[in-house]
Amino acid sequence: MKFEDLKDERFILLTDTFRIQPVILEHFSKAGFIPNIYFKSSHDLKIAYDFVELNKGIFVFVDKLTHIEEYRNICSIPIDDPTAFWDAGFIVKRDAHPNKTAKKFMNYFLNKYNKDLRQTNSK
């Protein structure tokens, strides 16, 4: 499924306080439409899933964070767009010096984005 395929659908979205929302809205815009938003959830994914189960709209969310196992009438369909991704980051105390294990863990993920912890610390 592509974003263009969703043009005539209603959507259940998260509020703009979630970092993923601008990414999703940008993909709608690139697909050439403004989404018809039925509801915006401020915090509870269960509410979003409940609205989907009631056939009130489609909920676009991160695949690995989607937990719909308890719902019999909904399913997860991947969006076929290699540019649809969600940035992840680390939050650390200012001026903290992560230990060797923490740096190794951070570098594992940062290297997937062709970044290195040493480059990040030099900024």
Q: Is 15 inside a domain boundary?
A: yes
Let me know whether 55 and 16 are in one domain: yes
Domain of 44? 3-65
Q: Is 122 inside a domain boundary?
A: yes
Let me know whether 24 and 61 are in one domain: yes
Identify the pLDDT of residue 43: 77
Q: Is 70 inside a domain boundary?
A: no
Q: Is 43 inside a domain boundary?
A: yes
Residue after which a domain boundary falls, among 33, 50, 65: 65
Let me know whether 51 and 100 are in one domain: no
Give mean pLDDT, residues 56-79: 80
Count: domains in the chain: 2
Please report which confidence band the pLDDT of residue 87 belongs to, taking 50, 70 and 90 as the band edges: low
Identify the pLDDT of residue 8: 93
Tell me which residue of 45, 120, 122, 43 sits closest to 89, measured CA to CA. Answer: 120
- Report the predicted TM-score, pTM, of the whole model to 2 decimal places: 0.65
Give mean pLDDT, residues 95-115: 78
Let me know whether 52 and 95 are in one domain: no
Q: Is 13 inside a domain boundary?
A: yes
